[in-house]
Structure 1
Amino acid sequence: MALVELNHVTKRYGALTVLDDVSLSVQKGEIIAVIGRSGSGKSTMLRCINGLERIQGGDITVDGVRVNDPATNLRNLRQQVGIVFQSFNLFPHLSVAGNITLAPRVVKGKDPGMAREVALDVLRRVGLEDKIDAFPDELSGGQQQRVAIARSLAMDPQVMLFDEVTSALDPELTGEVIKVLEAMANKGMTMILVTHEIGFARRFGSRVVFMHQGRIWEEGAAAATLASPRTPELETFLNAVLH
Structure 2
Amino acid sequence: MSLVEIREISKSYGAVQVLKGVSLDVTKGEVVAVIGRSGSGKSTLLRCVNGLEVIQAGTIRVDGVQVNDPATDLRKLRQQVGIVFQSFNLFPHLSVCDNITLAPRVVKKQAPEQAREIARDVLRRVGLEGKLDAFPSQLSGGQQQRVAIARSLAMQPKLMLFDEVTSALDPELTGEVLKVLESVAQEGMTMILVTHEMGFARRFGSRVVFMHEGRIHEEGQAAAVLAEPQTPELKTFLSAVLH
Q: How does the TM-score come out when normalised to structure 2?
A: 1.00
Equivalence for 1:3: 3
- Is 1:89 equivalent to 2:84 in the alignment? no
What is aligned with 2:66?
A: 66
Matched, 1:144 2:121: no
Superposed CA offset, 1:132-158 (max 9, x none): 000000000000000000000000000
The one-letter code of the counterpart of 1:122 is: V
Per the TM alignment, residue 238 of structure 1 is displaced from its structure 2 partner at its CA by 0.1
Structure 2 Cα separation of the partners of residues 75 and 157 of structure 1 = 13
Following superposition, the deviation at residue 219 of structure 1 comes to 0.5
One-letter code aligned to 1:153: L
Q: What is the distance in 2 between the residues matched to 1:129 and 1:214?
A: 41
Matched position secondary structure for 2:2? coil
2:227 maps to: 227
Q: Which runs of 5+ in 1 are unaligned?
A: none
Residue 185 (structure 1) shift: 1.1
Aligned length: 243
Aligned to 1:44: 44
Q: Which residue of 2 aligns with 1:179?
A: 179
Q: How far apart, in 1, do the equivalents of 2:15 and 2:57 lie?
A: 14
State the match for 1:208 in structure 2. 208
Q: Which runs of 4+ in 1 moved over 2 A?
A: none
Question: Counterpart in 2 of 1:26?
Answer: 26
- Partners of 1:127 and 1:57 lie apart in 2 by 42
Q: Secondary structure at the match of 1:116?
A: helix
Compute the TM-score of the two structures, normalised by the length of structure 1.
1.00
1:3 is paired with a residue of what secondary structure?
Answer: strand
Residues 82-121 of structure 1: CA deviation (Å, up to 9, x unaligned) = 0000000000000000100000000000010000000000
Give the Cα separation in 1 of the matches to 2:183 and 2:68.
Answer: 32
Gaps of 5+ in 2: none
* Equivalent position of 1:57 in the other structure: 57
| Mapped partners of 1:129, 1:96: distance in 2 | 10
After superposition, what is the alpha-carbon deviation per residue over 1:34-78, rounded to whole angstroms, capped at 9, x for unaligned?
000000000000000010000000000000000000000000000
Instruction: Tell me which residue corresponds to 2:196.
Output: 196
Tell me the distance in 2 between the aligned counterparts of 1:12 and 1:196.
Answer: 24
Report the secondary structure of 2:200's partner residue.
helix
1:162 corresponds to which residue?
Answer: 162
